[in-house]
Amino acid sequence: MKLLRTASAGKDDSGDCLVTVSPAEGVSLDYRGANREIFAQRTRNLVEEVLKEKSVDGAAVVIDDHGAIKITIRARLETALERAAKEGAGA
Amino acid sequence: MRASRSMLYIPGDSPKMIQNSPYFGADSILLDLEDAIAMAEKDSARRVVSTFLRNFDFGDLTVIVRINGADTEFFEDDIKEIIPCRPYAVRIPKCSSPEDVLLADRKIAECERRNGIPVGTVKIHAMIETALGLERAFAIASACPRVGALTIGGQDFTADMGVQKTKEGTELFYARCRIVAAAHAAGVEAYDTVWADIDDPEGLYKESKEIVTLGFTGKACIHPSQIEMIHKAFQPSEKELRKAVKIVTAAEEAERNGKGVIAVDGKMVDAPIVARSQHLLELAKMYGMEVAQI
């Protein structure tokens, strides 16, 4: 999967997260949220897992976490990636 | 599947509500991809729902997904992504003919085959939301074995009829009766529409009692606070249970003795009455009522 543009998915609501992905050289993660230190490793592992599954080599990932569980972060990240890779979609 | 008295609608893009759903006390939940979701968020909601279905432990909850109708661009994608996750059923909106159901049945079957799932695993709950659909309710309910329930969409139905939806529900009386009868004739369940005013629990209780009387097997709701009133309305009385115990006991004895006809308290009892009595005893278990003590 090749990212073509910046795209987001999710919300700033409690129990949710807002994920933004952009095309980049290599992988970077900017993980924000009140409990970022506790969940940093969990989230990094999850992001790496999803990027590997989707064969994404280059992505800048920003996650604003408002208490989302792993299932939610995965769903939002997958949607953001698919939106960013969609041919012919707007910016 | 256990009896579903309450079906709580949860928007498909509300992960917090979905993760809390086992604690609300509903018998089943309806994860909504249709009306509750903005057009631009259909893909996101669909992914939240499918990811939860694959990875989350819903416990005893029966999970149903309301997908978008066949007249929308989202229908096929909903089926492709949701069916492999094996929800108990998908609720199909605006079923106005048996063909609407058969189209969904065909698409779901194709998807089940592609994913190595036994054909027929995922049930269809057909929503009746138009006058035309109501006229064809029995044909819709019996269109294929995959149909497990008929449901009435009160807002859309009254809009189609060009009338106001009221708390009294006079405008839905005929439709409710017709849907319950069609569902019963086809051997499927019947679920009532939502009570929209979350600040009027007494109104909800009154309406719930009425739809229990009509023969509905369950009622949809839009807020966790509504679950208790719906369950209260479905609770069988001790008098009903005493009679049900007598009927089921007599039926079991007749079966052991190879008798086809039974009488209880001097009245003939036939198979539908035995089935209803068994259903009441099953309901009693859900309330923790000690049937043996009755």
DSSP structure string for B136-156:
THHHHHTS-TTEEEEEE-HHH
Cβ <8 Å between A75 and B56: no
A7-85 fold: Ribosomal Protein S5; domain 2 (3.30.230)
Ramachandran class of B213: left when φ > 0, alpha when ψ lies in -120 to 50, beta otherwise = alpha
| Same-domain check for residues B29 and B78 | yes
Per-residue pLDDT band for A91 (boundaries 50, 70, 90) equals: very low
Tell me what the pLDDT averaged over chain A comes to: 95
Residues 163-182 in B contacting A (C-alpha not used; CB under 8 Å): none
Entry pTM: 0.91
Nearest CA in chain B to A9: B44
CB pairs under 8 A between A and B: 47
Of A13, A78, A79, the CB nearest to B16: A13
Cβ <8 Å between B15 and A83: no
Residue partners of B264: CB distance under 8 A and separation at least 6: B243, B246, B247, B250
The pLDDT value recorded for residue B286 is 86
pLDDT < 70 regions, chain B: 1-2, 294
B52 touches chain A (CB under 8 A): yes
| Same-domain check for residues B210 and B254 | no
**Bigger pLDDT: A63 or B285?**
A63
| B265: helix, strand or coil | coil
Residue after which a domain boundary falls, among B211, B234, B257? B234
Smallest Cα–Cα separation from A76: which of A1, A15, A28, A4?
A15
Q: Please, are residues B28 and B6 in contact by the beta-carbon 8 Å criterion?
A: yes
Residues of chain A positioned with their CB less than 8 A from the CB of B14: 13
Cα separation, B134 vs B157, whole angstroms? 9
| Same-domain check for residues B189 and B59 | yes
Ramachandran class of B290: left when φ > 0, alpha when ψ lies in -120 to 50, beta otherwise = beta
| Same-domain check for residues B201 and B162 | yes
The pLDDT value recorded for residue A40 is 94
| Same-domain check for residues B189 and B264 | no
Cα dihedral sign for B96, B97, B103, B109? Answer: positive
Domain range holding B146? 6-234
Residue type, B188: V
Cβ <8 Å between A71 and B19: yes
Nearest CA in chain A to B53: A71
Cα separation, B128 vs B135, whole angstroms? 10
Q: How many domains does chain B have?
A: 2
Q: Has residue B1 been placed in a domain?
A: no
What residue segments make up the domains of chain A, in order of their start? 7-85
Complex ipTM tops 0.90: yes
Residue type, B281: L
